[in-house]
Amino acid sequence: MLFAGEVRKRIAVVRLADWFNQDRGLVTVCQLVVNDLLKNKIDVTQKRLQMDQALKEENVVAFSEVDIVSEYESGAIAVVQANGIAGLHSNTVMFGWPTKKWRLESILRIMRAVSRTGRSTVLARVPGLNMPGRQKQIDIWWRGLQNNGDLMLLFAYLLSLNALWSTSKINVRTITNNEDEREKLAVGLEELVTKTRIKTATEVIVSPHGASITKVMHEHSRDADIVFLGLREPQPGEEAEYAERLIELAEGFHTTVFVHNAGEFAGHLI
């Protein structure tokens, strides 16, 4: 389920959600409108027709949904839990990158809530996706501290199945400050990619003494078309600090996809 706002303004993230789907599931694109139906008349049908037209023009096959809620966070959580078609329920909730920091903090709180219902979260900053014409590079930064590696690899693989990304090179990278940890991390990476049977290259990077880990990551993935990063659940009250960290990370990459795996197979190699 993708919370996309106005489809035409967020078509890049809508297209990305469609690529992740790869005809192996269903995508619902939701426009969440904060308003009061008891006081105001809102033409939900017209809004949904506009969404359908925009999706059709972009050749994206997805269900459209417009929900009127009195408050953004509680409304989004309720909509996620209610979403479903013929007994099928969304297992992943996706958000486009917000323009306001306070909205990013809201998304982090929503993520914490929906993860408790077994739903994973994807947060994508998509300034614009390159069209075909050269081999594409997909970078995954894996640290092994959370259970997000499985889902990041799966998304990268699904993306590579798309005709536009069929020549993609997938890199799984990790970084350490300690030369002594290089071999251990290299073994962990090899185990990860071997068991998934997804063709990838692996690399363990030792950060130079005193260098910022974020800066090293930016330098190694500055040419990547898409970078996948794990997304952890901040503790209540830590959302503002963590939001700053995410903004710092995302601004150094072209397209950034943060992934939090809370699903049935979290922590089990796909």
CATH number (3.10.20.740, 3.40.30.10, 2.102.10.10, 3.40.50.620) of 137-254 reads 3.40.50.620
Residues 6 or more apart in contact with residue 26 via CB below 8 angstroms? 62, 63, 85, 88, 90
Q: Are 21 and 15 in contact (CB under 8 A)?
A: no
pLDDT at 128: 65
pLDDT at 124: 96
pLDDT at 265: 59
DSSP 179: G
Q: Give span(s): CATH 3.40.50.620, the chain.
A: 137-254
pLDDT tens digits for range 116-167: 999 999 999 998 655 545 678 999 998 766 688 888 998 999 999 988 898 8
pLDDT at 239: 97
Most confident of 11-25, 201-215, 229-243: 229-243
Mean pLDDT of the 253-267 span? 83
Chain-wide mean pLDDT for the chain?
Answer: 89
Three-state SS letters, 40-53: CCCCHHHHHHHHHH
pLDDT at 185: 82
DSSP 88: B
pLDDT at 132: 47
pTM, two decimals, is 0.92
pLDDT at 181: 80
CA dihedral for 248, 257, 232, 103, sign (positive or negative): positive
